[in-house]
Amino acid sequence: MNNNINGILNEALNKLQSAQLADIENIKVEYLGKKGKITEILKTLSSLSIEEKKEIGSQVNVAKTQLNEAMEAKKKEITNKLLEEKMKNEKIDISPAFSFNFPKGHYHIISKAIEEMSNIFISLGFNVTSGREIENDWYNFEALNIPKDHPARDTQDTFYLENSENLLRTQTSAAQIHIMEESKPPIKVIVPGRVYRNEATDASHSAIFHQIEGLVVGEDITFAQLKGTLQLFINRLFNQELPIRFRPSHFQFTEPSAEVDMKCVFCGGKGCRVCKGSGWIEVLGCGMVHPNVFRAVKYDPEKYTGYAFGLGVERFAMLKYGIDDMRVLYENDLRVLRQF
């Protein structure tokens, strides 16, 4: 009986070797179906002893397991071969059935100008930090040597927050105080950011605009270093040698103070509508840090000196990109913005 079981199993396994996928089910029925050759062996067990039944039954179960495993392996082998052949002969088009041509995004011209200007100062050894847009009277005015009822406050119409002593900063200069309170000299930093003033919007003014504040503090800091820094900045921003001039001015938090003009980039100093025929364009304010500002942050004005400057991002962006109306920068007209 044992030889008979092994012979039937080997017969089935030999048929599997050359079988196709459709043949496997026929082999299963032929050997393992209700009337299959292996199943028929079980029907002969009734005439055998208990020991013989156990032995033959165990052999039949082993044969059935081996045949089932062989059929599953053959199925997998055939299926994998068919898939390989299909992959060799079939090209799959992975392109979408349809597509949308979305325009690429890019920096807004103001963000672009801030990044470009900041990178120039970084190359000159400045760090970049951000200030607070909501300040109080101390940081925005008093610590900057602008006491209450001082006439200088009249030039900065301020947005005060309702039921609060806080306000929207009118200048990035307020960041100077925080920086000096939180660190000790030497300091070399710029602070880009938005500022707010309660004034009417026109071609050259806006209630919300952007400044970059610069502050350098240390021992033996001079006005000559300030002039050299600003000259290098303007030359690199406009990619040309542009003469600049310093006119005496007054800012409550610097002494001495100066307004800086640069030669008109539109007419080369000959005089045009943009520079109002003068050949020069006012671009920023600057000066040496006032001793009272140092005293407000507990710096020794006998030991330390420093300079500060503040420049308008929109003004430089307009000059660099040939824009004659500030409102263009805020109207989000894609016909304009796509040019930059």
Question: Which CATH number belongs to the domain containing residue 232 in this structure?
Answer: 3.30.930.10
How buried is 291 (Cβ within 10 angstroms: 0-12 exposed, 13-18 middle, 19+ buried)?
middle
Identity of residue 340? F
Last residue of a domain, one of 39, 57, 89: 89
In the prediction, which pLDDT does 294 show? 97
Q: Are residues 115 and 80 in the same domain?
A: no
222: tokens are 């001079």
The answer to whether residue 138 sits within a structural domain is yes
Q: Are residues 49 and 138 in the same domain?
A: no
The answer to whether residue 102 sits within a structural domain is no
In the prediction, which pLDDT does 306 show? 98
Q: Which helix (H) or strand (E) holds 179?
A: helix 174-182
The answer to whether residue 225 sits within a structural domain is yes
- Contact 67/15 with Cβ under 8 angstroms? no
Q: How far apart are CA 228 and CA 222, in angstroms?
A: 10
Q: How far apart are CA 216 and CA 232, in angstroms?
A: 16
In the prediction, which pLDDT does 204 show? 66
Neighbours of 229 (CB within 10 A): 20
The answer to whether residue 154 sits within a structural domain is yes
The answer to whether residue 95 sits within a structural domain is no
In the prediction, which pLDDT does 338 show? 78
Q: Are residues 248 and 285 in the same domain?
A: yes
Q: Are residues 22 and 140 in the same domain?
A: no
The answer to whether residue 320 sits within a structural domain is yes
Q: Are residues 166 and 137 in the same domain?
A: yes
Residues 6+ apart with CB under 8 A from 340: 106, 109, 112, 321
What is the domain range of residue 50? 2-89
The answer to whether residue 101 sits within a structural domain is no
In the prediction, which pLDDT does 138 show? 93
Q: How far apart are CA 4 and CA 193, in angstroms?
A: 93
In the prediction, which pLDDT does 233 show? 97
- Contact 154/194 with Cβ under 8 angstroms? no
Task: Please list the residues that pair with 126 across neighbouring strands.
Answer: none
Q: Are residues 83 and 204 in the same domain?
A: no
Q: Are residues 31 and 147 in the same domain?
A: no
Q: Are residues 83 and 226 in the same domain?
A: no
Neighbours of 125 (CB within 10 A): 9
Q: Are residues 196 and 320 in the same domain?
A: yes
Q: How many folded domains does the chain comprise?
A: 2
The answer to whether residue 94 sits within a structural domain is no
Q: Are residues 15 and 73 in the same domain?
A: yes
Low-confidence ranges of the chain (pLDDT < 70): 1-3, 45-46, 53, 97-99, 151-156, 203-204
Q: Are residues 174 and 51 in the same domain?
A: no
